[in-house]
Chain A
Amino acid sequence: MTGRGDWWYDEAAGPVVRPYAMVRGRTRPVTAELHLVTQVRAMPSASDPESLTVEHLEIMELCRRPLSVAEVAAYLDVPLVVVKVLLSDLIQRGDVVIRDPARIAEIPDRNLLQAVLDGVRGI
């Protein structure tokens, strides 16, 4: 079916704006590695909002409550790699604070596990 109004850029075609246009062609975050579950929280106000892009500002708005990198990517509906680049800009500016998983290469400690266990039992 190729009738009039049958646009090629339907939902399945993905966003019309190429993801990398948002990050000016950059594919690598400049700061330390961000993990899927790294928590991001925006500072109460951005240091210089005029110099931020719409996407940066959206992240600042989303992260008024702490969210993981993966959640930010899901809510913005952009690939993880793009979100990591945008977040690294905000980290460098000091506009967001982050917390990495407890110990990235190790399993969490016993007290943390006990707290998670109690929490899951309580939901």
Chain B
Amino acid sequence: MASVESERPGGELLVPTPVKIVIAGGFGTGKTTMVKSVSEIAPLHTEELLTEASVGVDDLAGVEGKTTTTVALDFGRITISPEIVLYLFGTPGQGRFWFMWDELAQGAIGAVVLVDTRRLDSSFPSIDFFERRDIPFIVAVNCFDDAHNYAVDEVRGALDLDKSIPVVLCDVRDRESSKTVLVGIIEHAMSRLDAMA
């Protein structure tokens, strides 16, 4: 069942280049909902074991006695072309899972920090994380039905954001709205690249 795109000339197997965008924000800001609304597959779920990733044991002697914590990751996929595939990773909880954020952010196009205007402070740690590492990010205000309608400038002010950081309003349940947010972060990453050139 080899498709015409499965091989390069000469019979070499075609393996796509992966890229990723991180979807961050506080608890309940709609990260998984956003992944779900634009992913071509139902969001997938996998787990990393904290003791392995953080301590890096070489053998399992005594592992039974240790507390093993799993970090859950939810992610989706958008096949851009036979050569490129985009992954969207929702970040796990903040705090003790920062090591996982580092792996997620490494090599990423950039990040979307989702914000719920009812709990603006819940997204502060995400913003700090990307600011400090100089990773391109945009802030997407998820407009829940019962949320106050804030102006973009009010949110920018409340979050004390640099004026170079784009702020967009969105409804992540809506596929087109989520697409617009993704376009926003990719364009922002491109403009940063141009500014550096």
Of the candidates A25, A80, A104, A107, the one whose C-beta lies within 8 Å of that of B109 is A107
Q: Quick check: B59 and A27 within 8 Å, CB to CB?
A: yes
Cα A67 to Cα B45 in complex, Å, equals 14
Interface residue tally for chain B (C-beta within 8 Å): 53
Q: Quick check: B20 and A41 within 8 Å, CB to CB?
A: no
Q: Quick check: B49 and A81 within 8 Å, CB to CB?
A: yes
Question: How many A residues touch the partner, as a band?
Answer: 35 or more
Q: Please name the residue on chain A nearest to B194 by beta carbon.
A: A110
Nearest CB on A from B195, distance (A): 12
Q: Quick check: A101 and B46 within 8 Å, CB to CB?
A: no
Per DSSP, chain A at the interface is: mixed
Kindly state whether residue B149 has any CB partner on chain A within 8 Å.
no
Cα A32 to Cα B182 in complex, Å, equals 31
Q: Quick check: B19 and A43 within 8 Å, CB to CB?
A: no
Kindly state whether residue B60 has any CB partner on chain A within 8 Å.
yes
Contacts of A106 on B, CB cut-off 8 Å? 107
Q: Which residues of A contact B (CB under 8 A)?
A: 20, 25, 27-28, 35-41, 43, 66, 68, 70-71, 73-75, 79-81, 97-99, 101-110, 112-117, 119-121, 123
- 7 residue pairs, one from A and one from B, having the closest CB atoms: A119-B80, A74-B44, A37-B18, A99-B15, A73-B46, A74-B46, A81-B52
